[in-house]
Structure 1
Amino acid sequence: MTEIELKFVLNEESIRRLKSRLKGLELNESAARTRTLRSVYYDTPEHSLRKAGTALRIRRDGRRWIQTVKARASINGGLLRAQEVENPAPGGRLDLTRIPVLAVRAEVEEAIAGAELVPVCETQMKRVTSVLTLENGARVELAIDSGEIIAGELREPFREAELELLEGDVDSLYDLTQTLFPDGGLHLSTMSKSERGYMLAETGRAQTEPLPRNACTVPLSAEMTSEIAARDVLRECFEQISANIEVVLFTDAPEGPHQLRIGLRRLRAAFGMFKPVIGHPEMLRLNEEAKIIGAQVGVLRDLDVVITDIIDPEHEAHPHEQGFNALRSAIEARREAVREELREYLRSERAQSFQIDLARFIETRRWLAPEDFEQTARLAQPIRELSCKALGKRWKSCVKHARGIDQLTIDERHELRKELKKLRYTIEFLGPLYSQKKVARFVKTMKKMQNIFGDLNDLAMAEELLCKNDSPGARNANAQRAVGWVLGARSARAAAAWSNAKRLWHDVTVTGPFWR
């Protein structure tokens, strides 16, 4: 059978709130059931099953022993899908010949290739389960696990909730998530317990440390339909956003807000790119939510940039100017206040709803509109056809905004910068469909153009941040002297860079649209 689950990492407080919330909902079919589960995961010494994407375990559930194989597992939008096959395991002994689905048995035997199977890790969990019936008739099993993940002598406590779909559609899992966790602060689990056990054995940790996540290339191919391409691109955007929300919440790494803002911008660029295919009122709403979150993240990111990319280099160039220390201290104080405000927002119900609704939009094909009789043809359109139109549209907008480039006002330069960025993201998404040599040459030329706009944007952002009555260090004479150094140097740099704008734009147009 295909197992479909949403999983969430919990702590003692969130478990308490979840159980309290559950009592007031009256969704239980019967009283909650509590039992102790011990699961031992087996693999070859070389972890051949893990490499094949398969988990093999023996579980003791009360007096019963059960052998389970989970194959072809995938996690997207927090949603775990896997083929699960179970059979009795008398005495807790492995017996591959008892796997009832022949195709799954063949996959396991092929992966093992006759090698010895040994225990890798285990979990010992107290599990509280409830079967919940929703108003739409869907049935979901809620399992709340509290216990330990064990690998050899290593042990680590772990708490998790699982929502497993028993009957109904996947949409019901997301509905129930919003119902059970209405207050925000939810953390999607993106790893199975077996993966955590392997990680504990290898690294001594069963939970990953939040690390900034850059955008990854989506392996699009010319024969893909536009709908599948849209789904895969949006999944990548979701993963980048979700991972970097965790980084912002739990670390002070400057790369966290930077990559979160990029992820939100890429999402909005993807929405624009695929609008002819998956255009839907829900997409427009999510786009606006991404814009709102991006604006809040941008405040923190701008403060990081002012400190590390603007003030620190100037201080290094003028080490005897004491005003830089005063200015940096004032901006750091502002940054910490902004960081806490952002964290509070990212824990809020609104930010959580954005994440859950974005995952739902992607994983349940929320864009389908039964009344749109032409939608099927658009969804089935080859992505290569759509890509030419999308790139052409972005290119046309850039050309329009670059007319008379020597005479552009500050605002017009800013608009051109935004259009170039949208084109860049579109190329990053669709580039795999074209000659990599041509794509690389075009992007290299365009990067030079974008560097100019980076200098201009840094100057505008520094002026906006440092030149107001309530700016950090506004009442400190030494800090204001440092502001003069910063703005003077940045103005000279931006002016020198802009003098090359017309030539670089000419280079971009000569290198020219590779998609034609």
Structure 2
Amino acid sequence: MIEMELKLLLDDAGAEKLRKAATARGARPENSTLLTRYFDTAEKALGRAGIALRMRREKRRWTQTVKVRERHTGGLSSAREADAPAPGGRIDIARIPEEDLRLAVEDAVNGHDLAPVFETDIKRARFRLSPDGTSQVELAIDLGEIRAGDRSALHREAEFELISGDPGALFTAARGLIPEGGLVFSTRSKAERGALLAAEGRIGDPTEPRKSRVTPLDPDMTAEAAAQAVLAECLDQVAANAEAVRAGDDPEGPHQLRIGLRRLRSALKLWRGPLGGGWLADLEGEARWLGAEVGRLRDLDVTLHDLVAPAARAAPDEPGFAPLAAAVEARAGIERAHLRETLRGPRVQGFLFDLSEFIALRRWLDPSDHEQTGRLAEPISVLAARELDAVWHRAARRAKGIDHLDIEARHELRKALKTLRYAVEFFAPLASGKKVAAVVKPLRALQDLFGNLNDLAMAEAMFMTEDAFAGGNPAAARAAGRVIGARAALAEEDWQTARDRWHALKSVKPFWR
């Protein structure tokens, strides 16, 4: 049996609010207590194979379940599972009813003894919902703890499980019951959380800024399969960093969130041909909007930490840097509070729900587009070569006459190079490391130089406007002038180097040809 669930993390207040929302829609709770023990070998062979084998007691009945998670996108996961009665609560592999699952467990265990590794003790409230009038969804609100030896941790979670009908009903149900925002996707199963508790004393990942990760692509993949994998990674980066910004003050949080949104927009553009459709355009628009919201805080963080602080260290006797930094920091505090409110709000929640549904349920499929099937089935290596050529030529056009580009043209070239870098990073797993490095290394160096050039434009925008941070303080105005002057000198020096680096990059043979 295939199980499909949308899972969200909760706190006690959120669980109570969700319970009331379900009850207000006429759903009656069915309450139960679930004691579940998870088994593995001493070498954790089942966990390494991605298999969970559990024994659950509900009232007086024991049930043995084997579960293999097949896919995870945002908070939505699908898994194969098979249940069997377990008289006396004894594990018996031979009772697994589906032969391939039974053989997978037998192969992983390989004759070794099984023993309990951890257990969960959960009070569950079940609600039966029909959010679209035809589909059936079960909402389970779980409150309890996970225990492994002498370690324990509280766990609060909502699971929307599809019983019958359209999988989109999971998202419809969640949107209807949690309309105001603030969701956090639950990206680990209870089995994974228990194994983590036993091994490391924690049940989840720390709430901290998250960098992008390489998505393993294979040349035999279709364009659609590659799109799903890349977009899922973009979603994970965006969702993780949205939570990091909500929870902490680390400037890396807004930085990685903005990168995640830019990577997402780049991916949507690269796969626009096979995916197309209104969902894609709407998601791109929401990512652009949120990127602008994040960008205001990120620009202030850069101004404070990368522009003012270095200039202050270089001129310790300048008294104007202290009030200038204080003014920037105060504005950043206001902007951080605003961004957190935005990230907890319904628009961002709707965006994350839509993005997860788009990826997991293939909302790009258009029955009226009879040629889409062919585009989706195109080998990713073919699409990659075509799209990389396109972004490469776009950057080359922006760089034409590079010796005489004005400030605006340099800015456009910087954006084109950023898009090229994201495209190269997405498709890098399709080529050998040496060939990719020959392009990536000079491209990154070039981007760093253009980043310094952008710092000058940022300094001028921050400090040369009517509501500049000097606030009528002559010393602070003098300090701001020092920042702009230092950046102007550095920018001119970097521009000379950037031109040389571009000519060097042009001479590299692209790895996709």
TM-score tier after normalising by the smaller chain length? over 0.9
Equivalent residue, structure 2, for 1:413: 410
1:16 matched to 2:16? The reply is: yes
1:514 matched to 2:511? The reply is: yes
**Cα deviation 1:216-258 (Å, max 9, x = unaligned):** 1111122111111111111111111111111111111111111
1:486 matched to 2:483? The reply is: yes
Q: In 2, are the aligned partners of 1:36 and 1:124 still within 8 Å (CA)?
A: yes
What count of residue pairs does the alignment treat as equivalent? Answer: 513
**Cα deviation 1:251-303 (Å, max 9, x = unaligned):** 11111111111110011111111111101111001101000000111111111
Structure 1 window deviating more from structure 2 (467-476 vs 353-362): it is 467-476
TM-score by length of 2: 0.97
Runs of 4+ deviating beyond 6 Å:
none
Equivalent residue, structure 2, for 1:133: 130
Rounded to whole Å, the distance in 2 between the matches of 1:113 and 1:68 is 19
AA of the residue aligned to 2:21: R
1:295 matched to 2:283? The reply is: no
Rounded to whole Å, the distance in 1 between the matches of 2:195 and 2:432 is 39
Rounded to whole Å, the distance in 1 between the matches of 2:84 and 2:272 is 47
Query: Displacement of 1:59 after TM fit?
Result: 0.9
Rounded to whole Å, the distance in 2 between the matches of 1:475 and 1:203 is 54
AA of the residue aligned to 1:316: R
AA of the residue aligned to 1:311: V
| Alignment partner of 1:461 out of 440, 443, 458 | 458
Equivalent residue, structure 2, for 1:34: 31
AA of the residue aligned to 2:385: C
- SS state at 1:500 partner: helix
| Alignment partner of 1:221 out of 218, 221, 224 | 218
Pairing of 1:56-455 with structure 2 (within 5 A)? 56-455=53-452
**Cα deviation 1:378-434 (Å, max 9, x = unaligned):** 111111111121111111111111111121111111011111111111111112222
AA of the residue aligned to 2:45: S
- SS state at 1:370 partner: coil
Equivalent residue, structure 1, for 2:5: 5
Equivalent residue, structure 2, for 1:474: 471
Q: In 2, are the aligned partners of 1:468 and 1:474 still within 8 Å (CA)?
A: no
Query: Displacement of 1:473 after TM fit?
Result: 3.5
AA of the residue aligned to 1:361: F
Structure 1 window deviating more from structure 2 (271-280 vs 193-202): it is 193-202
Q: In 2, are the aligned partners of 1:170 and 1:364 still within 8 Å (CA)?
A: yes
AA of the residue aligned to 1:440: A
Structure 1 window deviating more from structure 2 (413-422 vs 220-229): it is 220-229
Rounded to whole Å, the distance in 2 between the matches of 1:190 and 1:365 is 19
Rounded to whole Å, the distance in 1 between the matches of 2:271 and 2:506 is 25
Aligned identity (percent) is: 47
TM-score by length of 1: 0.96
Rounded to whole Å, the distance in 1 between the matches of 2:50 and 2:499 is 52
Rounded to whole Å, the distance in 2 between the matches of 1:167 and 1:238 is 27
Query: Displacement of 1:102 after TM fit?
Result: 2.1
Rounded to whole Å, the distance in 2 between the matches of 1:235 and 1:135 is 26
AA of the residue aligned to 1:195: E
Query: Displacement of 1:73 after TM fit?
Result: 4.1
Query: Displacement of 1:137 after TM fit?
Result: 1.0
1:503 matched to 2:500? The reply is: yes
Rounded to whole Å, the distance in 2 between the matches of 1:515 and 1:146 is 51
Rounded to whole Å, the distance in 2 between the matches of 1:382 and 1:447 is 28
Gaps of 5+ in 2: none
Equivalent residue, structure 2, for 1:54: 51
Q: In 2, are the aligned partners of 1:7 and 1:79 still within 8 Å (CA)?
A: yes
Query: Displacement of 1:480 after TM fit?
Result: 2.0
**Cα deviation 1:15-55 (Å, max 9, x = unaligned):** 222122213323x4xx3211111111111222111111011
Q: In 1, are the aligned partners of 2:245 and 2:253 still within 8 Å (CA)?
A: yes
Query: Displacement of 1:321 after TM fit?
Result: 2.4
- SS state at 1:105 partner: helix
Q: In 2, are the aligned partners of 1:85 and 1:99 still within 8 Å (CA)?
A: yes
**Cα deviation 1:173-193 (Å, max 9, x = unaligned):** 111111111111111101111
Q: In 2, are the aligned partners of 1:315 and 1:324 still within 8 Å (CA)?
A: yes
Query: Displacement of 1:447 after TM fit?
Result: 2.1
Structure 1 window deviating more from structure 2 (101-110 vs 491-500): it is 101-110
Query: Displacement of 1:482 after TM fit?
Result: 1.7
Query: Displacement of 1:153 after TM fit?
Result: 2.1
Q: In 2, are the aligned partners of 1:54 and 1:73 still within 8 Å (CA)?
A: no
Q: In 1, are the aligned partners of 2:38 and 2:118 still within 8 Å (CA)?
A: yes
Rounded to whole Å, the distance in 1 between the matches of 2:42 and 2:70 is 21
